[in-house]
Structure 1
Amino acid sequence: MKSVKVFAPATVANVVCGYDILGFAVNQPGDEVVMRLTGGKGISITKITGDEGKLPLDPEKNTVSASVQHYLNHIGMPDTGVEIELHKKMPIGSGLGSSSASTVAGLFAINTLFDNRLSNRDLVPFAMKGEELACGYGHADNVAPALMGGFVLIRSYEPLDIISLPFPQDFHAAIVYPEVDVPTKDARQMIRSKVQLKDAVTQWGNVAGLVSGLFLNDYGLIGRSMTDILVEPVRSILIPDFAVLKSLALENGGLGFGISGSGPSVFALTRDAETAAGITARLQQHLKKMDINSLAFVSEVNKKGPILLD
């Protein structure tokens, strides 16, 4: 029985102003998948750990198995026997691409078992099927960086056009997950369907400025471009004391601050690990005063994407 064990990283999506088009991978947290090819037919999920019973074992309803099935259909092996173990090493509903990390680990595993027939970039559309199952919309700003590593821009969805962006090599992310519930589907429904042209122009300028800052290694340009006037004002309502957390991060060396994905996790970009650690400590102290438990992660931008563990 041929088997592999894979780790796939969490991601920060949107990166403030880049709703559904920008994201980057981090070294921690992430998810693990153990996958085996069997002599039987069909996909089965034999074990899920770390999910507190929240995720379905039904292979048609789980993002990992559903995406793997799309892959097998594509390569002309739809009835292949596959056993999957999913080990959640990150919180569900955190805004850190929990479903993405699981799905990407599963796709990397099955592709490895079939001798890497597709590139990681070519696996993105299959991972998007998992995101569609998880939140109703197949966006790529989590799955693309999780698969490809680094900082990623989704220039277009139809046709899918993904660009890997350069970024300052000393970049660190200070991430704090307040343990409050912000379901992705609910968060998406809060977003305005129409915006004023002047607001759109401001947002376009910020996205262009952020991408330019990444190319130029211009920290000042990156920081002042990390402003969102369309989505953050609405979603931040769901995060306790968001404005205070933002002020604390920026006052303690953060280049920019925002919501990771749909939240409730928040993040700051910094020039070094020490600054990032200081920010996470300040944010956690403030949340503790509010009787809100939290988890914190300090990470470089992950450059590798998913990896084999054994």
Structure 2
Amino acid sequence: MIQNEIKVFCPATIANISCGFDVLGLALGSVGDEMVIRKTELPGIVITRITGQDLPLEAQKNVAGVAGLAMLESLNYQGGFELEIHKKIKAGSGIGSSAASASGVVWGINQLLGEPCTEEQLVRFAMEGEKLASGTPHADNVAPAIYGGITLVRSSDPLDVVRIHCPSELYASVVHPHIEIKTADSRKILRTSISLADGIRQWGNLGALIAGFYKEDYALISRSLEDHIIEPIRSILIPGFDEIKQQALAAGALGCGISGSGPSIFSLSKGEETAQNAARAMSDVLSKLDLEHDAYVSGINTEGIKLITGKGVSP
């Protein structure tokens, strides 16, 4: 049956996962945007509606529009698509708001056109949206959104995405304090060079973390969730970060760090109960600081973007 309209769930994502700056990411299952994508005879991309955030309707100024246009140009497709974007991931939250929009549109278009593109090609198109958002065409958020689960971006040019095994009992807790840190701004404060000693420590942790995922060795995962390069710099932008991390670990989390460029903070845990305890502990710190925030607990979403059955958009 030929479809002319679909509705999709576009997951939030955690990028970096402590030691994997710009290369590691995972998809969440409990929070994400929704998009309605429909075929039209008019060429190009038209965004008809955006809810939840004040974002541009002009396709060339919207990450979803830019990603979709890149895909249509590559396919030399003469028709077009209308988009409704229902944002449930706050912009600047650090859990892949722009990635959800950019990856959702290309995944949806691919479905409506009979899947002419591979997942890797979809990541390339979605990266164009990320370039608009942050100035850099990075893939650490869009890759897990499209592939699902945990992904490693071995190379961005040429693009090479690797699926990483996801332990069955791994859960993520996320707190999002209601302050905004733009990805482009948070990248500006980073050092452009590191010491060999810091590099060796980081590479060791990254390799061991991936080994821990494959072996489902939660102790090894815990020892490896350390970032000696990015976190010490970015954490100064997040109120209460050190105490939040301390309390998450005290509640039993395997590790805790900055999600993407922040201000969201994530922890990983073995089991949902521990993840709930970690989320409460992290949330309590922000409450004591009188900072409004959101808190989420989620298993790892191994499916990524998915179709939503039925019509309309859930409240």
> Do both proteins adopt the same fold according to a TM-score greater than 0.5, normalized to the shorter chain?
yes
Residue 106 (structure 2) pairs with residue 107 (structure 1): yes
Residue 130 (structure 2) pairs with residue 128 (structure 1): no
Partners of 2:97 and 2:227 lie apart in 1 by 23
Residue 30 (structure 2) pairs with residue 17 (structure 1): no
When the two structures are aligned, how many residues end up with a matched partner? 307
Question: Are 2:251 and 2:274, in contact at CA under 8 Å, matched by a contact in 1?
Answer: yes
| 1:89-139 residue CA offsets vs partner (Å, 9 max, x unmatched) | 111111000000111111111111101111223211001111001100011
| 1:46-95 residue CA offsets vs partner (Å, 9 max, x unmatched) | 100000x2x11111111111111111111111x42321111001111110
Percent of pairs with identical residues: 44
What residue identity is the alignment partner of 1:182?
I
Question: Are 2:153 and 2:161, in contact at CA under 8 Å, matched by a contact in 1?
Answer: yes
Q: CA deviation at 1:27?
A: 0.2
Partners of 2:44 and 2:179 lie apart in 1 by 37
Question: Are 2:8 and 2:36, in contact at CA under 8 Å, matched by a contact in 1?
Answer: yes
Partners of 2:59 and 2:121 lie apart in 1 by 23
Structure 2 gaps, min length 5:
310-315
What is the SS of the residue equivalent to 1:23? strand
The match for 2:253 is 254
Partners of 1:5 and 1:135 lie apart in 2 by 27
The match for 1:160 is 159
Query: How well do the aligned residues superpose, as a CA RMSD in angstroms?
Result: 1.1
The match for 2:214 is 215
Partners of 1:28 and 1:122 lie apart in 2 by 26
What residue identity is the alignment partner of 1:290?
L
2:6 is aligned, of 4, 15, 18, to 4
Structure 1 gaps, min length 5:
none
The match for 1:50 is 52
What residue identity is the alignment partner of 2:266?
F
Question: Are 1:43 and 1:80, in contact at CA under 8 Å, matched by a contact in 2?
Answer: no
The match for 2:60 is 60
Residue 308 (structure 2) pairs with residue 309 (structure 1): yes
Question: Are 1:11 and 1:145, in contact at CA under 8 Å, matched by a contact in 2?
Answer: yes
For normalisation by structure 1, the TM-score amounts to 0.97
What residue identity is the alignment partner of 1:65?
G
The match for 2:90 is 91
Question: Are 1:95 and 1:263, in contact at CA under 8 Å, matched by a contact in 2?
Answer: yes
Q: CA deviation at 1:41?
A: 2.7
2:28 is aligned, of 26, 29, 46, to 26
Partners of 1:24 and 1:112 lie apart in 2 by 22
The match for 2:293 is 294
Partners of 1:69 and 1:247 lie apart in 2 by 44
What residue identity is the alignment partner of 1:147?
I
What residue identity is the alignment partner of 1:96?
I
Partners of 1:229 and 1:74 lie apart in 2 by 40
Q: CA deviation at 1:167?
A: 2.3
Question: Are 1:13 and 1:22, in contact at CA under 8 Å, matched by a contact in 2?
Answer: yes
Q: CA deviation at 1:166?
A: 0.8
What is the SS of the residue equivalent to 1:188? helix
| 1:22-50 residue CA offsets vs partner (Å, 9 max, x unmatched) | 00001021111111111223321110000
Question: Are 2:240 and 2:285, in contact at CA under 8 Å, matched by a contact in 1?
Answer: no
Q: Once structures 1 and 2 are overlaid, which stretch shifts more, 256-265 or 103-112?
A: 103-112
The match for 1:38 is 40
What is the SS of the residue equivalent to 1:156? strand
What residue identity is the alignment partner of 1:27?
G
Q: CA deviation at 1:279?
A: 1.2
What residue identity is the alignment partner of 1:204?
W
Partners of 1:155 and 1:108 lie apart in 2 by 22
For normalisation by structure 2, the TM-score amounts to 0.95
What residue identity is the alignment partner of 1:197?
L
Partners of 2:107 and 2:80 lie apart in 1 by 17
